[in-house]
Each structure stands twice: as C-alpha cells, then as structure tokens.
A and B are shown apart, each in its own frame.
Chain A
C-alpha cells in the first residue's frame, strides 16, 4: 500500500517535471539566445560566452531601432486602451446586467462578435480609413482600434460580476436617499473592485500583446514593442539575439503587474465559484 502511494507520488512528480520542461523550454531558450554574442548565434551547443551586449544594444538604441520609444508607446497605448474601455465598459456592463432594454441582447452579442472574426478581416478597410482620417500611426488611433480587443472583454466579464451582485444592495442605497448614479459609484463599483483589477490586467495583456493592429496601422511614431522587436530581423543579417532580448524586456510590464495584483487576481478570476 505504502509502496504504491510512494510510487504514484513519484509518477506525479515526474509528470510535473516533464510539464515544466515543456512549458519553460521556449523561455529558457529565449533567455539563452538573448545572452549570446552575435558571432555565436548559430552555434547549436550550449557553451558560449554569455554577454549583456544584446540588452545594451536594444535599450541603447545603437542598432538604429528606437526600442525604448516603442516600449513607451506600448505602455501608453495599452494603458490608454484599458482606461477608455473601463470608462465606457463599466457603465455598459452594469446597465446590461441590471436592465433589459430594447435590443440589449443583440447589442451584447454584437460586442462579443468583435472577438469572433480574425483581426485581419477588417484591417485593410481600417488602414484606408486611418490614412484618410489622419489616425494612422497615432496614439489616438491605436487606443481606438484596441477597443476591439479590450472593450468586449471588459464588458462581458464585468457584466457577470454585476449580475452576481444582488440588486438589493443598490435598492437599499436608493431608499437610503442616494441617486441611481451614487448607488452605482458608492455601492456597486467598490464591490466589484477585484473583478476590475483582474479584467484590467487581462485586457492590458491582450492589448500589449496585440500584433496585427500596430503592424498595419503604425509605422514609427506609435509603433509598439511587438512589432518593434522584429526590426532587428531586417537587414542582411537577422540579429536573433537582439529580438530575443527585446521580447524578454517586453514581458516585464505584464509580469510585474500580474505579480503586484496577484491577490486580486485569484479572487477575481474565481468569481462565481465562491459566493459571499
């Protein structure tokens, strides 16, 4: 009996280790790649002289690629997109959770359907529109187009949070003498804070990771890290080590965010499972 127990424990450990190797291998490879000097890029064995030159080149802009600016662009555009989506999406989510109005279901479905089609299907008309409207390669244009990514996510997830709140709390606020607006801001909103934190992080990551929109709708001024990291592959010799370094640097903000709000995240993403 005990032998069997220990054996199954060992098997589980082995399976976990296997999974870790599987999951972490690409990342480990990227780390190794980013530390390689340019002249050893194509060596297949692991013995090389690790160097931070790649990171210096990426952050110092010595290759003619303004990577730091791309990084700042990514931050501005992603934060902007999430902020706008929250400002518009929270009231929308609340309204659709609390009231049935004419066409409310259709509206919600339409919003969700933005996520069905691949972005490529709309990118050409958007490109033409953006050129004409002067939104091409601007922050405003990027924040706007990223609403396609962040808004449906925020509205749909926050809607289920609001639906989980008993309406009697806001009703009590109305009878306490507060207006509907105050009931929303003072009672409903504070209670879904864990949800807001979790969904904002998710939306931020989706916006940060988006590739197609900045690829087509920006050229330089508003270009983001996802596209910018590929700049190192142009020219006669692709510098994979620089791309790897750039990619790893661009992982930092979402990772830091996730770690700081981890507490909220677990509570936020397990909504519905635990009723208060």
Chain B
C-alpha cells in the first residue's frame, strides 16, 4: 500500500526533528530514505508507524488519513535500529511474537513453519533456542529483521536493518532483501545512512536533511542530477571533485589561479562564483574530450583500478583509471586528463547556511 507524509512537523522541545516533511512512497515500491544521523529518518518511520504523533501534517496509508489510528491498527511492521528485541525471551519467541498477537494470530503449527522458513532465509535457524542476550549484534539484527518479515504487512519500515552486519553478510542480506522486495511487492520504507546501500536497494531514493526531503528520485536522477553539492558528495566513492571558481567571459569556468578552464554546462552570468563538479569515473587519462594538464600528486591502487590524485595548479582532483592506464605513473609526472563536457555538473557556491544548488534543468 502507498505511504505518504504531507507537511509533517515534529519537534521535541526546541529540537525540530521533522520540518514540514513531504514524502510519497508508491504501492509496492522499495524506497530508501538516506540521510546523516539526526536528519529525522527514525522519526519519519515512527511517525508512519503511529508511535510518534506529528505536531502538524498528516500521514496517509493507502490514501487513508492515519491520525488517531493506533499503531496496531495500521498494519505496518517495523525493524528498529536498536532491534527492540524482548530480552527475556528466546530468539524463536521473538520471531513468533507477531504470530501470537491478537491481530496476526496463526495456529501454532503454522506459526512454527513460518518462523522456520524465515529463520532459514536469514541464516539463524541454529540460534532459535538461544535467549537474545546470548546473540551477537549481527545475529540480533537478523532476528529483528525476521520479526518484521514473518508476517504480512501493509508496509515494512526498516531502520538501518543491516548496519551491524559484517561486510560479507551485509552484501548477502542486501541481495536477500532485494529478492524479498521483488517477490512480495510489499511497500518498503528503508532508512539508511549508507549511500551504497541506498543505490543498491532503492527503486527510488529520498535524501533527507534537517527534517526535510531535499530530493527524491531514481538512482539515475540522484546520480546525474543531484539537487545540490551535499547530495552530489553523498553518492560515489571516491567523492565527486568540486572545484571552486568563477564564470569568465565567453561562458567558461575558470579557477582562481587560472589553471583549470572548462566549458560551462549551463549558461550563467559572468563573474558568478560557482563550483564545477566532475565524478572521478568521468575523468580519463586517455581519451577524447576537453583536455586538462597537471601533475600526479599520489596514486592508490583499488584492486583492478587505480585512484590517481592529480594536481591542477592549486586544486586537486581525483580520478579512477584502469590499472593498465595508470601503470608507471609516479608523483610529479606530468599527465593529460580528458573529460566530456556533458558530464560536468555546475553548482552555486556553497554558503554557510546551505550547500550550493545545482544550476541547470531541475531534477525534482
């Protein structure tokens, strides 16, 4: 079922957690909410679940206004970042808890089957008899996730459900979650601070900051048309290169020391302070396009590719090149970089009160 938040405001004392949040998750969609800690991600989930009452605005599930509807009547299932497992019960009892409640009761034999299947899926079958106090954080997190998946729900609300798993397991569970999402088509609102996770899982991604949604879109939209420099910085490792400079006569971007000059991707008034952005993967050591010259600053091998940091006058840019192309590069070697002008992103200069917005066609 679809989930929507309209103009939701929530404050704790003087602390504003949600500041007129607008969000729409379509039916059957896997929606990732990405933001730094303190951005209001958990509050958003709890407001949808009915655990927090918004000061203003409404929550709608399947088009129905949810104000005054108790959490157990909303039909959503939530995985808490703190796991919120019942510490006095075994892993099995935790998993079976929803199936014993008045709302979702199943006959004991059927419940056992369901719990067994979910435990199998999450790789915790051997742990079912243990009290949750005897489980590691990663195991507890999987039990918490299992408690959500064990029963049908109008929507899944997942609060950083993979954060405490080790890298290998996380990858595996990510694939598992994606498969579950695809098979069940249950609307999922997934909260994370990990951009890689958001890109891997989300049908659409919402970037939240200071209690407001900054941008929503598919991974392509977020990647190619980020709303501002913060969104651009959040996605992609190594991070996007952002060079400060001004617009010179003739529609050209130029850094302060004049060492970098590139054509502007969008028309801007002369002498405006701007930031030019180019992702490390869009810079090449060989190839066609606009050329820049600089010297190698440092190189770092990342498996099959190499991250090369190049000095262009006063600025540094990093790029990712295939190992063959970067072989033999030593610090202070002169290099020639190429880039395609259509890959350039242009932003307003960052200001203390807000990061610079992208200049160009709107992506919202």
List A residues at the B interface (Cβ < 8 Å). 166, 168-169, 171-180, 182, 187, 190-191, 276
Q: Decide yes or no: A168 and B82 within 8 Å by CB, A177-B104, A178-B72 being known contacts.
A: yes
Known contacts A172-B147, A173-B97; can you find 19 more A-B pairs with CB under 8 A? Answer: A166-B82, A168-B84, A169-B84, A171-B46, A171-B51, A172-B85, A174-B50, A174-B51, A174-B71, A175-B51, A175-B71, A175-B72, A176-B104, A177-B98, A177-B101, A178-B72, A178-B102, A178-B103, A179-B102
A175 to B48, CA, bound (A): 11
Name the distance in Å between A95's Cβ and chain B's nearest Cβ: 17
Whether A191 contacts B88 by the Cβ 8 Å rule is yes
CB atoms of A176 and B147 under 8 A apart:
yes
B259 to chain A, nearest CB (A): 54
Which residues of B are interface residues toward A (Cβ below 8 A)? 46, 49-51, 70-72, 76-78, 80, 82, 84-88, 97-98, 101-104, 133, 147, 151
A176 touches B87 (CB 8 A): no
Q: Chain A residue with minimal CB distance to B105?
A: A177
Closest CB-CB distance, A103 to chain B, in whole Å?
19
* Among candidates A174, A190, A191, residue contacting B72 with C-beta atoms closer than 8 Å: A174
A194 to chain B, nearest CB (A): 11
CB nearest neighbor in B for A180: B70
For the complex, give the distance between the alpha carbons of A169 and B80 in Å. 9
Most buried by A among B77, B80, B84: B84
Q: Judging by beta carbons under 8 Å apart, are A175 and B104 in contact?
A: no
Contact in complex: A168, B80 (CB < 8 Å): yes
Q: How far is the CA of A174 from the CA of B80 in the complex (A)?
A: 13
Across chains A and B, the number of contacting residue pairs, with CB separation under 8 Å, is 62
Partner of A190, one of B88, B104, B147: B88
In the complex, which residues of chain B have a beta carbon less than 8 angstroms from the beta carbon of A187? 86
For A168, give the chain B residue with the smallest CB separation. Answer: B84
CB of B86 within 8 A of CB of A169, answer yes
Q: How far is the CA of A94 from the CA of B213 in the complex (A)?
A: 36
Tell me whether B102 and A175 are in contact (CB under 8 A). no
Q: Are A176 and B70 in contact (CB under 8 A)?
A: no
Task: Tell me the bound Cα distance from A56 to B219 in angstroms.
Answer: 89
Considering only CB atoms, which chain A residue lies closest to B78 in the complex? A175
A172 touches B101 (CB 8 A): no
CB closest chain-B residue, reference A190: B88
Residue of B at shortest CB range from A171? B51
Tell me whether A176 and B101 are in contact (CB under 8 A): yes
Contact A175 B82 (CB under 8 A): no
Q: How far is the CB of A76 from chain B (nearest CB, A)?
A: 32
Q: Which residues of A contact B77 (CB under 8 A)?
A: 175
Nearest-Cβ distance from residue A164 to partner chain B, whole angstroms: 13
Q: A177 CB to closest chain B CB, in angstroms?
A: 3
Contact of B101 among A166, A168, A169, A178 (CB under 8 A): A178
In the assembled complex, the CB of A9 is this many whole angstroms from the nearest CB of chain B, namely 39
The residue among A172, A173, A182 with the most chain B CB atoms within 10 A of its own CB is A172
Q: Complex formed: what's the CA distance from A187 to B98 in Å?
A: 13
- Nearest A-chain residue to B102, judged by Cβ: A177
Can you report 10 A-B residue pairs in the complex whose CB atoms are below 8 A from each other? A172-B147, A173-B86, A175-B71, A175-B78, A176-B97, A176-B101, A177-B104, A177-B151, A182-B102, A191-B87
Closest CB pairs A-B (n = 5): A177-B103, A177-B101, A172-B84, A168-B84, A174-B71
Residues of A within 8 A of B88 (CB): 190-191
A172 to B86, CA, bound (A): 9
Contacting residues, chain A, for B71 (C-beta < 8 A):
171, 174-175
- On whether the beta carbons of B70 and A174 are closer than 8 Å, the reply is yes
Closest Cβ neighbor of A172 among chain B residues: B84
Give the docked Cα–Cα distance between A190 and B80 (Å).
21
**Interfacial chain B residues near A172, Cβ < 8 Å:** 78, 80, 84-86, 147
A182 → B minimal CB distance (Å): 8
Bound-complex Cα distance A8 to B201 (A): 66
- In the bound assembly, the distance between CA atoms of A225 and B172 in angstroms comes to 69
Complex interface: chain A residues within 8 A of B76 (CB): 175
Q: Which B residues touch A178, using CB under 8 A?
A: 72, 101-103
Tell me whether A176 and B82 are in contact (CB under 8 A).
Answer: no
Q: A residues within 8 A CB of B104?
A: 176-177
Cβ-defined partner of B87 (8 Å) among A171, A177, A276: A276
- With known contacts A168-B82, A172-B80, A173-B97, A179–B72 Cβ distance under 8 A: yes
A217 to B306, CA, bound (A): 89
Name the distance in Å between B48's Cβ and chain A's nearest Cβ: 11
| A161 CB → nearest B CB, Å | 14
B70 contact set on A, CB distance < 8 A: 174, 180
Bound Cα distance A168, B88 (Å): 15
Q: Report the minimum CB–CB distance from A148 to chain B (whole Å).
A: 33
Which residues of the partner chain A approach B102 to less than 8 Å between Cβ atoms?
A: 177-179, 182
Contacts of A175 in B (CB 8 A): 49, 51, 71-72, 76-78
Task: Report the bound CA distance from A180 to B102 in whole Å.
Answer: 12
Instruction: List, in ascending order, chain A residues with CB within 8 A of B49's CB.
Output: 171, 175
Chain A residues with Cβ under 8 A from B86's Cβ? 169, 172-173, 187
